[in-house]
Amino acid sequence: MNIIAAVDRNWAIGNRNALLVKIPRDQKLFFEMTQGKVVVMGRRTLESLPQKQPLKNRVNIVLSSDKEYAVKGAVAVHSLEALFGELKQYESKDVFVAGGGSVYRQLLPYCDTAHITKIDYAYEADTYFPCLDKLPEWELVADSEEQTYFDLEYYFLQYRKRAKKLEI
């Protein structure tokens, strides 16, 4: 599975249930990478989207602990077991975990590729993504040239989970 996020220099991802900044090239990359794929998100992330509607041209799966939660145009699941049962019908490479903070933390151990837009700025934030640079099981495998949006500098990074070594 993939995980996809935009983070600031402190690995912050949001404040008051909103993105820290909207960078058009980052949003375009998200659109292109997830188009026709499966996007997994939490309820609050879905509710932060325009008109609180599921993303078009994607399978939207919303993980919510509220067993009564349902939303038109998305599949609502209420546990990791139910989520994994739902995901069995899709190729792992076609699944993108898209937030928020709690969903990222719960699903990061099950992901093998992370697509990170790293913004060289520290925002006021209340929600964070795990710092992959400090997790030994993750390694940076690709990075872009410096990108700019007005006075912001940012990079497109790709991390991969290291293969586990077999102990004999």
Number of domains the chain is built from: 1
DSSP code per residue over 57-70: TSEEEEE-S-TT--
Buried/exposed code over 66-96 (b: 16+ C-beta within 10 A; e: otherwise)? eeeeebeebbbbeeeeebeebbeeeeeebbb
Q: Is 167 part of a structural domain of the chain?
A: no
Q: How far, in Å, CA of 67 to CA of 141, rounded?
A: 39
Q: In what order do the strands lie in the sheet with 12-15?
A: 18-19, 12-15, 127-128
Looking at residue 165, the DSSP 8-state letter turns out to be: P
Q: Is 137 part of a structural domain of the chain?
A: yes
pLDDT of residue 9: 98
Average pLDDT over residues 129-155: 97
pLDDT of residue 50: 85
Q: How far, in Å, CA of 122 to CA of 39, rounded?
A: 27
Tell me how far the alpha carbon of residue 36 is from its chain's centroid.
Answer: 16
Q: Is 74 part of a structural domain of the chain?
A: yes
Q: What is the mean pLDDT of the chain?
A: 95
Q: Is 56 part of a structural domain of the chain?
A: yes
CA distances from 47 to 53, 62, 69, 95, 146 (A): 7, 10, 12, 20, 32
Q: Is 150 part of a structural domain of the chain?
A: yes
What is the band of 167 on the pLDDT scale with cuts at 50, 70, 90? Answer: low
Q: Is 117 part of a structural domain of the chain?
A: yes
The CATH code of the domain that includes 9 is 3.40.430.10
**Is the predicted pLDDT of residue 93 greater than 80, yes or no?**
yes
Q: Is 64 part of a structural domain of the chain?
A: yes
Tell me how far the alpha carbon of residue 31 is from its chain's centroid.
Answer: 12
Non-local (6+) Cβ contacts of 164 within 8 A are none
**For residue 97, what are the domain limits?**
2-161
* pLDDT tens per residue, range 24-64: 999 999 999 999 999 999 999 999 998 889 999 999 999 99
* pLDDT tens per residue, range 67-90: 999 999 999 999 999 999 999 999
What is the band of 166 on the pLDDT scale with cuts at 50, 70, 90? Answer: low
| Nearest residue to 7 via CA among 107, 112, 100 | 100
* DSSP E strand stretches across 22-166: 38-42, 59-63, 75-77, 95-97, 113-119, 127-128, 138-143, 147-149, 152-161
Q: How far, in Å, CA of 47 to CA of 16, rounded?
A: 12
Q: Is 166 part of a structural domain of the chain?
A: no
pLDDT of residue 165: 60
